[in-house]
Amino acid sequence: MKINHKLFAVADGVEPIEVQEFDERKIEIYSMDQFEGIKEEFVMKKGQFAVWSSVDGFNYRLFLEDGYHKKLKDLYCQKVNQTWVNFYDTTDSISKKFSNYFVYPLMGVAVLACVLSIFLNQYMPSWASWVIIGVLAVMFVAMIFVNMKIKKVVLKENTKARQEIIDYLGEAKFDALIEAQKSYMDEYFENLYPKAEDEENTNVEETAAVEESKEDNSLVEEVKEENAPEAKAKAVEAEEKETTVEETKEDTKAEEIRAEEAIAAEAKEE
């Protein structure tokens, strides 16, 4: 069974930090920190802290993020890893079984249908296209059925393997390890991207300040609108007073002019 076979070759010639052997199988455990780019590829991009690889189904290499491995060492002990290897063997057997009994026969039928369509095209052209369409439709439906069946069986085996691990570790310890796994992953990424959270908080504070400023400006505008009639009335009153004063000044000046003209007229008569 091949699992991440390209990754398997990366560890050639590198000393593993732990080796587990059972049933003619071998698991070599490595720290991702021993290799350049693996942590970035699987942890940073995919969120995978544990990655399995194999090229033959007998020799496995398990790559673990260093802190994750130290925190969850019991989750990758030999008994647990043996359970997962057995699961991989079972799923590989299931996949091969369905391929032998369904996929390959369907491919054979498709080839025969193509040959038949070529023959029919010479004598009954109208039937050739219908034969091809019918075969493709049958293959499509059959492949959907096969994939659904494989997923169902694999899920059943996965549940079985998980239950074996729970029985070995104990339900309380298993739940504690799963909780520790989740906590470690969350903490890892929180420590990895603290600036992003700080920037987000800063943006939230700035947004709140802008909204508060908008509310204050809105209140000022409302006060101005409320006081506008009163201010306008005072302005009109002041303007009327100024007009009255000007008129009074003009009347006084006119009286002075008339008085001077009267005095001048009296002087001429004398």
Q: What percent of the chain has pLDDT over 70?
A: 71
Q: For residue 35, which phi and psi values (nearest 5 degrees)? A: -130, 145
The amino acid at 213: S
How are the residues of the chain apportioned to helix, strand and coil, as percentages rounded to the nearest 5? 80, 10, 10
| Of 20, 100, 3, 95, residue with least CA distance to 57 | 3
The amino acid at 99: S
Q: How many residues does the chain have?
A: 270
Kindly indicate the confidence band of residue 107, based on its pLDDT and cuts at 50, 70 and 90.
Answer: confident
Q: Where are the domains of the chain?
A: 1-71, 73-192
- Structure token digits, residue 246: 């000007």
* Euclidean distance between CA atoms 211 and 189, whole angstroms: 32
Kindly indicate the confidence band of residue 270, based on its pLDDT and cuts at 50, 70 and 90.
Answer: very low
Question: Strand order in 50-54's β-sheet?
Answer: 18-22, 25-31, 59-64, 50-54
The torsion angle over the Cα atoms of residues 236, 239, 240 and 242, rounded to 10 degrees, is 160
Residues 6+ apart with CB under 8 A from 26: 19, 20, 58, 59, 60
* Euclidean distance between CA atoms 18 and 73, whole angstroms: 11
Instruction: Give the pLDDT confidence score for residue 74 in this predicted structure.
Output: 95
Instruction: Give the pLDDT confidence score for residue 220 in this predicted structure.
Output: 44
Kindly indicate the confidence band of residue 194, based on its pLDDT and cuts at 50, 70 and 90.
Answer: confident
Q: For residue 55, which phi and psi values (nearest 5 degrees)? A: -115, -15
- The neighbour count for residue 69, using CB atoms within 10 Å, is 21
Structure confidence by residue, pLDDT tens digits, 43-84: 999 999 999 999 998 999 999 999 999 999 999 999 999 999
Question: Is this structure's pTM higher than 0.95?
Answer: no
Instruction: Give the pLDDT confidence score for residue 223 in this predicted structure.
Output: 47
Instruction: Give the pLDDT confidence score for residue 39 in this predicted structure.
Output: 92
- The neighbour count for residue 78, using CB atoms within 10 Å, is 13
What value does the mean pLDDT of the chain take? 79
Structure confidence by residue, pLDDT tens digits, 159-186: 999 999 999 999 999 999 999 999 999 9
| Of 11, 173, 25, residue with least CA distance to 87 | 25
Kindly indicate the confidence band of residue 192, based on its pLDDT and cuts at 50, 70 and 90.
Answer: confident
